[in-house]
Structure 1
Amino acid sequence: MKDLTQVTSGLHACSSSYVNMVAVSAAISKTMMLLGNLQLKQIYAKSRKSVSKRTYATSRDQKPFMSSQYCLDVVKRYDYENFLACLLLPQHARSAALAVRAYNVELAQVHDTTTQPLMAKMRLQFWRETLDQVYQGSPPKQPVAVELQRAIAKHELSKRWLLSLIESREDHLENKQFTSMQDVEDYSEKSNSVLYYLILQILDIKNIHADHVGSHLGKAEGIVRLIRGVPHLGTKRIVLLPRDVMMQHKVSQEDVIRGSRDERMKSAVFDIACVAKTHIEHVKALMKDVPPAARIGLLPEVTISSYLGFLQKADFDVFDSSLQKRNRLLPLYLWWAKVRKT
């Protein structure tokens, strides 16, 4: 009720004929932000209520809980920006999209939480075997596997794309530095673009223009993830930035690990970010040919464009503390993009 009261007061402020234009503009902005956040809160609440009744328990001492609830929470915690985008999907597609995103989170965490390559390979092998069981209709009692089986049964999701997410992680278990930007784009296609192909399948979209947009969007997202991960990976003495770009700008691995903020480092980040920006420009140019029903599945373009804008404001200093903060206006931007595109 408090949110609704704020929205109502904002609308009254906008309609008053006695306020000046600056106040009107501020009231409109505040109202739109409240509307966007309010709608996402309402959708989230409905999602929690409408989760699957299918449950599982790992022991007699534990209370059973809902597998779809698990997927909802894990995506919110570890992939918050894409969690917001999933909330704006049609209700019939939301749980399946969250299952796919949760599956991706589980695979990403193999690399993030395992220090020994052998252990990581074993965990990825578990998911490879789990995927086989899921397609046989007998998933193990693991919440993501249970929800993934439901999504596959309902939407006939392509196994090769789900396998691609495993294979892309297997190829980079040893944190090998990318040799070139082309390598980064190839990896991003296998680890990010396929997520959009799957979401388009969930939306029952079969359109070559939508697939092209998904490809460019996934590559842009992969490049942005690479840039955003530089400070965190640097603390672990891991450098993944493409070797050809670093050599071109005379940036050493030690420069990255030390958190160098000089012009050489900024120039290297600028060149990498420009490739992501080019993919985003392709996304925007092709979007006019994409069916309206598919556009809602491609909303993360807003998130990527937003980060690239912040990176430019920080003069491509990837270690700027402002880039580590959560964008509080992102729910508004996503909601407004949905209104405009669908």
Structure 2
Amino acid sequence: MREPTADAGGSDYAYCETLLRRDDPDRWLASLFAPEQKRRHIHALYAFSLEIARAREIVSEPLLGEIRFQWWRDALETPTRMDVGANPVAAALFDTIERFSLPKQALLELIDARLFDLYDDPMETVEQLEAYARATSSSLFRLVPLILDPDEPADGLGAAEHGGIAYALTGVLRALPWHSARGQAYVPLDILQKHGADRTDLAAGQSSPGALAALADLRGLARRHLDIFAERIPGLPDASRAGFLVLSLCEPYLSQMEKRGYDPFKTVVALPQWRRQWILWRASKRWG
């Protein structure tokens, strides 16, 4: 790891934190439990992920999204040929990559997986959804510990993989109202078909018995991955555990989806900030 110089790229990192605090407040809140000198580098990594994840909201057609993704690929593969300094997220990310020797391949795979977001293709199987989650979510849980504890690998027991899948599945379930409204379907077809439902139920926002049963299956899958993660927390180095704290919010979100009156196509699954802070604080004491 290269030793950081004082306040290098401060405005770029400040931009990343502002972006994260506004658009991904759960990860921002969780980052407050990381050592102060490491936080801005975590913000840079999360801001990059956010930039890729929100491409569909920014562009008017998929091809423009692919062009944005290609810019990031080129920047990661040949940064000296690209003007990364003009993009504050890229500037902070590349400074972080250099300081902590982060593997770029994981970031390239994240970009490739996010191509799915640009189109309305179905998620065919559970295996496809889990592979998407590994590339987009688990990869972040693998990289953050390299910032928090560069000298000791954190994922020897697969905690990042299972935690990342649980986090992604919870996010997919929370985002169902927005995804269905714009014709996207992250709920795998094989789960829907198992219960006699299909994509039209989701596109129409119909809480049919089959659709509800499929969503219950997906919550169960998220919890199974959470359980495996919980079994592997003791194998995590102490210094890296702050990078996993955001996972403590998954179970409360999943529980909200099982309350009376929950409509998967209309109910906004959210928690007040004070409660999220309390959950994260409790997790920091349990896991620390």
TM-score, reference length from structure 1: 0.76
Task: Kindly state the Cα deviation for residue 137 of structure 1 after the two structures are TM-superposed.
Answer: 9.9
Contact 2:233 2:287 in 1 (8 A): no
Task: Kindly state the Cα deviation for residue 118 of structure 1 after the two structures are TM-superposed.
Answer: 1.2
Summarize the Cα distance change of 1:231–1:195 in structure 2 as closer, same or farther, 3 Å threshold: same
2:57 alignment partner in structure 1: 112
Task: Kindly state the Cα deviation for residue 81 of structure 1 after the two structures are TM-superposed.
Answer: 0.6
Task: Kindly state the Cα deviation for residue 208 of structure 1 after the two structures are TM-superposed.
Answer: 5.7
The yes-or-no answer on 1:255 pairing with 2:201 is: yes
Task: Kindly state the Cα deviation for residue 176 of structure 1 after the two structures are TM-superposed.
Answer: 1.3
1:194-273 matches, cutoff 5 A: 194-205=139-150, 206-207=152-153, 209=155, 212-273=158-219
Gaps of 5+ in 2: 1-5
The yes-or-no answer on 1:292 pairing with 2:238 is: yes
The yes-or-no answer on 1:74 pairing with 2:19 is: yes
State how far apart, in whole Å, the 2-side matches of 1:180 and 1:306 are.
Answer: 26
- The structure, 1 or 2, with the larger RCO (C-alpha pairs under 8 Å, 6+ apart) is 2
Contact 2:174 2:268 in 1 (8 A): no
1:185 alignment partner in structure 2: 130
2:96 alignment partner in structure 1: 151
Q: CA RMSD in A?
A: 2.3
2:30 alignment partner in structure 1: 85
Contact 2:177 2:266 in 1 (8 A): no
**Paired residue total:** 282
SS in 2 for 1:299: helix
Summarize the Cα distance change of 1:182–1:317 in structure 2 as closer, same or farther, 3 Å threshold: farther
State how far apart, in whole Å, the 1-side matches of 2:163 and 2:207 are.
Answer: 28
Summarize the Cα distance change of 1:326–1:133 in structure 2 as closer, same or farther, 3 Å threshold: farther
SS in 2 for 1:238: coil
2:3 alignment partner in structure 1: none
2:275 alignment partner in structure 1: 329
Task: Kindly state the Cα deviation for residue 54 of structure 1 after the two structures are TM-superposed.
Answer: 3.1
Summarize the Cα distance change of 1:336–1:95 in structure 2 as closer, same or farther, 3 Å threshold: same
Summarize the Cα distance change of 1:148–1:211 in structure 2 as closer, same or farther, 3 Å threshold: farther
SS in 2 for 1:260: coil
Give the AA of the match of 2:247.
Answer: E
Summarize the Cα distance change of 1:140–1:333 in structure 2 as closer, same or farther, 3 Å threshold: same
Task: Kindly state the Cα deviation for residue 225 of structure 1 after the two structures are TM-superposed.
Answer: 1.7
Summarize the Cα distance change of 1:294–1:53 in structure 2 as closer, same or farther, 3 Å threshold: closer
For the pair shown, the structure with the greater C-alpha radius of gyration is 1
- Residues 284-323 of structure 1: CA deviation (Å, up to 9, x unaligned): 1111222222211110111112211212225874235252
1:274-293 matches, cutoff 5 A: 274-293=220-239
Farther off after superposition, 231-240 or 88-97: 231-240
Gaps of 5+ in 1: 1-50, 56-65
Contact 1:96 1:147 in 2 (8 A): yes
The yes-or-no answer on 1:127 pairing with 2:72 is: yes
TM-score, reference length from structure 2: 0.90
Give the AA of the match of 1:179.
Answer: E
Q: Percent identity?
A: 24
State how far apart, in whole Å, the 2-side matches of 1:114 and 1:303 are.
Answer: 30
State how far apart, in whole Å, the 2-side matches of 1:117 and 1:232 are.
Answer: 17
Contact 1:52 1:68 in 2 (8 A): no
Task: Kindly state the Cα deviation for residue 140 of structure 1 after the two structures are TM-superposed.
Answer: 3.0
SS in 2 for 1:312: coil
State how far apart, in whole Å, the 1-side matches of 2:241 and 2:8 are.
Answer: 30
SS in 2 for 1:321: coil
Summarize the Cα distance change of 1:120–1:189 in structure 2 as closer, same or farther, 3 Å threshold: same
Contact 1:210 1:291 in 2 (8 A): no
State how far apart, in whole Å, the 1-side matches of 2:214 and 2:224 are.
Answer: 16
State how far apart, in whole Å, the 2-side matches of 1:235 and 1:90 are.
Answer: 40
1:4 alignment partner in structure 2: none
Contact 2:142 2:154 in 1 (8 A): no
